[in-house]
Structure 1
Amino acid sequence: MSDRNDQPALEVRRCAFFFDVDGTLADIQPRPELVFIPSPTLAALEQLQGAGIPVAVISGRPLSQLDALFAPLQLPAAGVHGAERRAADGQRCDLALDTQVLAQIERELAQACAAYPGLYLENKGVAFALHFRLAPELETTARRLAEDFAQRHAEVLTLQPGKCVFELKPRGASKGEVIRAFMAEPPFSGRQPVFVGDDLTDEAGFAAVNALGGLSIKVGEGPSAAYRRLASVAAVGDWLDALLHSLGEPAMPITKSD
C-alpha cells in the first residue's frame, strides 16, 4: 500500500459503513445457501451500530436472504445490487418491475440451463444468477447464455459478471447509486462513507464512495478503484476488531493500494 496524502483521515465515529456480504463478510461457498456470517463479525457489526455508527449491507442477495443471514440483527440494506432497498427507518424503496416479464424470462432461462446439469440457476425474484463454481468448465457456456438473455431483454436486464457467476440484474440497479441514496438520508447523511467489497459488482460502489470523499476497501486480489486492500474475509474480521478498539482513539489514515 502507498499513502494517499490527499485523502482525509478516517474518524470512525463520523463514518457510515457499507459492506458487501459474499466474499467480504462471509467466505464464498459452493452454493449460495451454504454461506454464513461468522458470529464475531455479527457481534462487531452490532457493536458498531450500538455505538451510534450507521451500518448497512449492499449485496447481490435479496433482502429476505440478507435478513436471514444477519438475524437477529436487522440492518439498513440494499439487495439485488440496489433493486431492493430498506432505509434506516424501515421504508422500502424497490425498483418497479413487470413480474409477468420476469416469470417468462425465468422459464426461458430454466429451459436453457436444463441442458447443463452443472450450471446452477438462482432466481432472486427480480434478478437471475448463473453459477458455475461447481462446474468451472461451463464458464464459457454460462457467459454465452447470460449475454444472449441480456441482449434479448435489454430493456429489463443488464449483465453483471462476478466470481464464478454471471448475473442478470435489473437495469438501473447499481451499488453506487444505492450508496448515494443512503448517503442522502439520515443517519448516513453528513458522514464519511466507507465501503468494503470484493467483486466486480462492487466497483460502482467504490467509485461512488471515492467521489464522496470516503474510503473504499477491496477484499482480495485483482485490479480495483478501491483506495485500500484487505487480503481476505478473515482480514475483514480483524479490521472490524481494530475499528472497535479504535473508538475514542486518534484518527486512522486512509491509504491506497498499489
Structure 2
Amino acid sequence: MTAEIQENTTETPLLPVLDSRQYAFFFDVDGTLAEIRSEPDAVTIPAEVRDHLQTLFAASSGALALVSGRPVEQLDQLVSPLELPAAGVHGAEMRDGSGTLHRVTLPANVAQEVQQTLEAGMAALPGTLLETKGMAFALHYRQAMLHQQQVLALAESVVAKFPELVLQPGKCVLEIKPRGKDKGAAIYTFMQQTPFSGRIPVFVGDDLTDEKGFEVVNAMQGISVKVGEGSSLAQYRVKTVRDVYRWIEALQRHTLTFKKESEL
C-alpha cells in the first residue's frame, strides 16, 4: 500500500525536503521526469527541470542517476547537456559514477532472429510500434489497443523460445529484455558504488517496471515514490509528473539555501 500525499495546491512541497548530502536520488524518466507520449521520440524534459537536476546532482556530490527502459544514449539526449550516471534498458546498460559504460549484449544470432520475428509480427498489427534497443525490444500498442492480446502472444512466443530473455509489462508496452536485468538490480548495483554507497536511496517511478526498484529501496530503508494511480510497493504517491517537478524544484531551492547559509 502507498501513503497518499495530498495534492499540492500551494508552494509547499509534496514530499519532505531532503538533505541532498545524505541521500542518493534515482529517477525513472517516462511518466516521472517526462510526460508519456504516444511516440517515444516526442518525449522531452523541460529545461528548468534539467537545471534543477543539475543543481541536485552537484549538491549530492553526483549521487543522482536515471533508471529507465530507454538506452543510455537516449537518456543523454533528454537531459543534455548533462551526462548523469544512468541505468538504461532496465540495467542492461549502466554508466557508473566514474563515467564508465557497462553493457550486456545478446548473441548476434539471437538478436537477429528475435528482431526478424518481432518485425514480421508487429508489421501485421497496424498501429503498433517496435522499438529496438540492441539487447532489448519494446512492443508498443498505445495507438492500437485492439491488438493488445496479439502483441502479448507474439512477445510470449519469443520469450518461450529464448530462455535468456524475459517479458516485462509496462504501460501500453511489452518489453523483452535480458534475464536478471531490472531496475531493482540496477539501483542495488549503484548503491554499492561511489558516490551512492553509504547514502539513503530515493527512487521515483510510475510503472510496473519500477516496482522492482521500489522493492530494493524499501529493503534499504529508503524512500520510494509512485507517480500516478495503481497498486504499488511504493511508500508514497504523487499524482502527476508536474508534482515531481515541484518536488525537485523544492529540493534544489533547499540546496541553494543551504549553500548560502554555509557560506556565512
Question: Which of 65, 86, 90 matches 1:56?
Answer: 65
Question: Which of 71, 87, 90 matches 2:99?
Answer: 90
- Which residue type is aligned with residue 29 of structure 2? V
2:74 is aligned with 1:65: yes
Counterpart residue number, 1:152: 161
Structure 1: runs of 5 or more not aligned: 250-258
Distance 1:29 1:228 in 2: 24
2:171 is aligned with 1:163: yes
Distance 2:158 2:54 in 1: 40
- Which residue type is aligned with residue 76 of structure 2? D
The verdict on how the C-alpha distance between 1:234 and 1:9 changes in structure 2, with shifts beyond 3 A counting, is closer
The offset of 1:68, in angstroms, is 1.1
Verify the 8 A CA contact 2:201 2:220 in the aligned structure 1: yes
Verify the 8 A CA contact 2:26 2:202 in the aligned structure 1: yes
- Which residue type is aligned with residue 37 of structure 1? I
SS of 1:75's partner is coil
2:19 is aligned with 1:32: no
Distance 1:81 1:221 in 2: 22
Question: Which of 30, 45, 51 matches 2:53?
Answer: 45
* Farther-moved stretch of structure 1 (25-34 vs 44-53): 44-53
Question: Which of 189, 198, 214 matches 2:222?
Answer: 214
Distance 2:4 2:230 in 1: 17
Verify the 8 A CA contact 2:187 2:216 in the aligned structure 1: yes
Question: Which of 20, 36, 40 matches 1:12?
Answer: 20
Distance 1:30 1:174 in 2: 23
The offset of 1:2, in angstroms, is 6.7
| Count of residue correspondences | 244
Deviations 1:175-216 (A, max 9, x none): 111101100010000000000000000000000011111100
Give the structure-1-normalised TM-score.
0.90
Residue identity over aligned pairs, in percent, reads 49
- Which residue type is aligned with residue 187 of structure 1? P
Counterpart residue number, 2:13: none
Counterpart residue number, 2:12: none
- Which residue type is aligned with residue 50 of structure 2? L
Question: Which of 69, 74, 80 matches 2:83?
Answer: 74
SS of 1:166's partner is strand
How do 1:169-188 residues align onto structure 2 when only pairs under 5 Å count? 169-188=177-196
Give the structure-2-normalised TM-score.
0.88
Structure 2: runs of 5 or more not aligned: 6-15, 259-264
Counterpart residue number, 1:102: 111
Distance 1:142 1:203 in 2: 22
Deviations 1:148-186 (A, max 9, x none): 211121x22100000010110111111111101100010
CA RMSD of aligned residues (A): 1.7
Distance 1:10 1:52 in 2: 11
Distance 2:130 2:180 in 1: 22
Counterpart residue number, 1:194: 202
Distance 1:104 1:193 in 2: 39
Counterpart residue number, 2:137: 128
Verify the 8 A CA contact 2:17 2:250 in the aligned structure 1: no
